[in-house]
Chain A
Amino acid sequence: MAQHYTEYLAANVLNEQQLISYRSLSRALKVHSNLAKQMLFEFHNKQNSKKPGTVHATYLITGTKRQTKSSQANGTETRDDDDTVMQSSPPFPGSSAPVHDEDEEEVPTVVRSVMLVKEEQLEKAKATFDSIIGIHVYSLQAKGLSDTQALTECNRKIATSYASEDPQEVWKQYGTIQNPNAKRRTTRGVPLQKVASKAVPAPKVIPPTTAKQPSTFGKAAPKPQTSSRPISKASTPEPASKPPAAKKDASALFKSFAKTKPKAKQEESQGSGTTSQDTKDEPMGGFSDDEDEFNDDGVIDEIETKMPAGKSKKERAADLEAMMDQEDEPMEDAPEPVVDDAAENAIDKPEAPPEPQETVTVQNGRRRGRRRVMKKKTVKDEDGYLVTKEEAAWESFSEDEPAPKKLKPTTTNAKSGGGPKKATKIGQGNIMNFFGKK
């Protein structure tokens, strides 16, 4: 243990000349942040006793400050009652204007200070405090810090590298204040690549031995249902089989995944024909609409963030990986991570008795009618897996919708018909790149 953190700090602070804050240390070693603060202190002490000046620290001091300017700043000035209209000193009888109780003069507001200082200014800063509640080492770096603002780099790295961690599960070990009531819902099939890139690597990179890792995100991973279709076997299962090789260097792996994943997704969507396209396109409508925040309500599912306990999940994860490896078999009962599009919308829910033909009427140059389309439907089977099926459903349309795709219920090669159209649609889907991180 002790070796562990010394090694880590030596490698990162001394050799790589990086900024390490207590937060990054606690994330890297999965320890309580308070413990990380002590580790930083110990390392700083040891190194500097060996060779003074090798490691510089910044400190965070909390306490109450001497009331210099704060007394003027905290609004405790006395005031006369006759100043304002509201308590107009009544020149006449019967005035009911409320009168301020002078004796209710407020106690001066308590002002706490949280101060971040460099090692060199520590003593000076301490002197400005009236009483100090606590001091701890905030960060370490090899050379003196020219600009404290550089410390934000630590948190930015944390935000990117550990984005896939489920806060509810993992943050406990960092000592973050827990909130069991937090309510989160998962958005499925959200077209944001950022979310996708964040969500997808999570369940795969984490070796099955680390308990409790797979998260709500993992479940909601918008991996398109292509895995069930033999046609597109090339792209999907591949990423799943890679990761277990490199368990250790998790962070680097995360990064590389974050970058490559969106591309993979695009390929998939190209390969998998029309169906996955409309999963991409549907929610966009909701996004561009100013008024309705969540047009894609149908795809959103609320869950309590408290997830079922981890044991069976581990097994399941193992099963899942095993299944993923059998690349070429059609997997009927593969756990379909859900991408349900608008399928669950009102139209096909009633399961209306299928009308015999498609009808199209032309009115005022607008075509209206009903047509038959393939909808995906997601059901939870006995094992708790979500299974996506395609079903024929009726849907009414008007002219501004894309021209009716006359899907025959059984064929899967509908994509050939929609060739050119598809390309433009993908272009549209990619507009979300615009909002993504550059």
Chain B
Amino acid sequence: MAIQQDPSALLSAPPSTKQSNHACLTRTSTSYTPLHTFALPKGAERQYQQQYADMYFSRLAMLKPAIEKQALDAWGSFTLGGETARRVERVLDVRQGDLCWVIGTCYMEMPLKPNVLDDISKEHWIAAPPPRATYGATGGRAGEAMLEDESGRLRLTGSFLDSCMLVTGAIIAVLGTENKDGDFEALDLRLPDLAPQPERWEGVEGKLAMEGEKGKIAIVSGLGISGDEGDALALDVLMEYLLGEAATEEDQKTIATVSRLIIAGDALANASPIPSREEVLATKKAGNAAHNRKYGYDSSSYNAAPTDRLDTFLATLLPSIPITILPGIHDPTSTSLPQQPLHAALLPHSRAYMQPPGSTTPSWLDSTTNPAEFICSGLRFLGTGGQPIEDIAKYILPSTTTSTTTTPESRLEIIESTLRWRLTAPTAPDTLPCYPFQEGDAFVINHCPHVYIVGNQPRFETRLIHGPDGQSVRLIAVPRFKVTGELVLLDLESLVPELVRFEV
């Protein structure tokens, strides 16, 4: 601990000589390698003709070996009433009364889940129903769970399921028997669990040279730049703080160890290029205003202020600190996952810090996909703008959260589950729009990250979780800056996060 300086050191007259003793700090640097796991093919190669079924097939195929291992470890010698649990290959091969286990994709049938047919009928309604906070009917069960593979479907029942978090798209192994009604009474359930985790620095060149790296990274999300006057000051103070101009020398020393800023989604508010169905309907009803617009877009009302503001913000920070920026649901890029990087043309000033595509050196301003994977200081990071977690939260009814200590809006459990499912976005393509991957499912987590960042969450939460093979992952739910004014500083050595709250 440094010697505590006098807090009012700056509340004194300036020294008389011109040569002041104020030092000029230099920022620590860390190595950074972006991984292009979620980059989609460009141009004509990006096809939307494929069926989503392929995604489910490949997802099941990719995760089967891992879950098989988990299930065998757990149930290999399991007996109940003298009967040994047997592995059944296909869902349809389950025989009534047999104790067995089977692997498949979970599917949840829920009363309020969005439905294509509903979407069509909605257009004829007078008032569209509000967007759902949850897909389950209030008060009732979360919905019906089913297990599905390429052969067929099996309805899952049993009180055991009440204690489980299940969402569509998760690959699970279930142990139980088929009852008289043809439903599968589940007794236990297994997940693929955490993927193998590479060692820190594994696969990074120049390992020895980098070994001594220390420092922090800053994570922020939901800047929500709207171009209004009202919200700009917190952003300014944040910028000055990160530049090391605001605050006192002690703070400035701390901030000089911050080697990178990660913006995890929603840097802009309301900049999504595609208006929601509700917005389109609203404009239709507005009637006469629809003259000069095509597909709900009114070119005369375009407002460049938010992107301008973001560009200035980034361009001011960039000379001092490298930035990784992920898009979020409100950002001007594709809306379906994986969202592709914010286009450089949006940021005329900051783009000078971007590398031309195809160059091998990582960009100083790295505009990445959402979700994104990158290696910083040898640690593997996985970051999302928060949409998958937001969507999963709708599957879980507040009343069925069995935990007494965690509040309903606690997102850590969901975040942890996605890692144990080995799926970044399990509910895509069911309730979350995504690209129809043809060869393999990009959302399957093949390498467990060291740090998992989820942006745009209701509040800051963090936890360290451990896997069966000694993996350990730091989970961070990053709150919206616009709402909370909070910035997360993560120490790269200890992986302990800190919070800086800006109040203006």
Binding site for B on A (CB under 8 A): 1-2, 5, 22-23, 26, 31-35, 37-39, 41-42, 45, 60, 62-63, 65, 70, 73-75, 77-80, 82-86, 88, 90-98, 100-101, 104, 106-107, 109-116, 132-138, 148-149, 151-152, 155, 159, 167-168, 171-172, 174-187, 190, 192, 194-195, 287, 290-294, 297, 300, 302, 305, 435, 437-438
Contact = CB atoms under 8 A, between A and B. Distances in A.
Interface string B468-504: 1000000001000000100000000000111111111
B241 A136 contact: no
Contacts of B188: 88, 90-92, 95
B319 interface: yes
Given A80-B403, A85-B191, A92-B188, A148 B504 contact: yes
Interface in B392-409: 402-407
A327 B286 CA distance: 60
A85 B396 CA distance: 13
Interface stretch (B74-82, B289-297, B442-450): B74-82
Interface of B: 5, 7-16, 18, 20, 22, 24-27, 29, 42-43, 70, 73-78, 163-166, 187-189, 191, 193, 229-230, 232-233, 236-237, 239-241, 243-252, 255-256, 304, 308, 312, 316, 318-322, 343-345, 348-349, 351-357, 359, 361, 363-364, 402-407, 410, 412-413, 416-417, 420, 459-468, 477, 484, 496-504
Contact of A180 (B26, B240, B417): B26
Nearest to B20: A35
A227 to B, nearest CB: 24
Given A114-B503, A184-B352, A133 B193 contact: no
Contacts of B74: 90, 92, 94-97
Nearest to A186: B352
A39 B16 CA distance: 11
A106 B462 contact: yes
B10 A41 contact: yes
B477 A41 contact: no
A37 B345 contact: no
A291 B42 contact: yes
Given A86-B420, A133-B250, A149 B232 contact: yes
A34 B465 CA distance: 42
B244 A152 contact: no
B26 to A, nearest CB: 5
10 contacts: A22-B245, A41-B11, A86-B420, A96-B70, A135-B10, A136-B248, A148-B233, A149-B232, A177-B25, A179-B321
A151 B312 CA distance: 16
Given A94-B77, A293-B344, A34 B460 contact: no
B7 to A, nearest CB: 5
A218 to B, nearest CB: 14
B498 A96 contact: no
> Dominant SS at the B interface?
loop
Given A35-B20, A84-B416, A132 B7 contact: yes
Contact of B502 (A45, A110, A114): A114
A171 B319 contact: yes
B416 A86 contact: yes
A205 B240 CA distance: 27
Given A60-B237, A85-B189, A178 B10 contact: no
**6 closest Cβ contacts across the A-B interface?**
A134-B248, A75-B461, A167-B319, A177-B244, A136-B10, A38-B14
Given A74-B499, A83-B402, A159-B316, A23 B344 contact: no
Contacts of B233: 116, 148-149, 151-152
Given A83-B402, A174-B245, A437-B308, 4 more contacts: A60-B237, A60-B247, A93-B78, A109-B460
A345 to B, nearest CB: 14
A69 to B, nearest CB: 10
B41 to A, nearest CB: 10
Contacts of A22: 245
Contacts of B164: 85, 88
Given A84-B413, A110-B499, A136-B10, A183 B361 contact: yes
A152 B499 contact: no
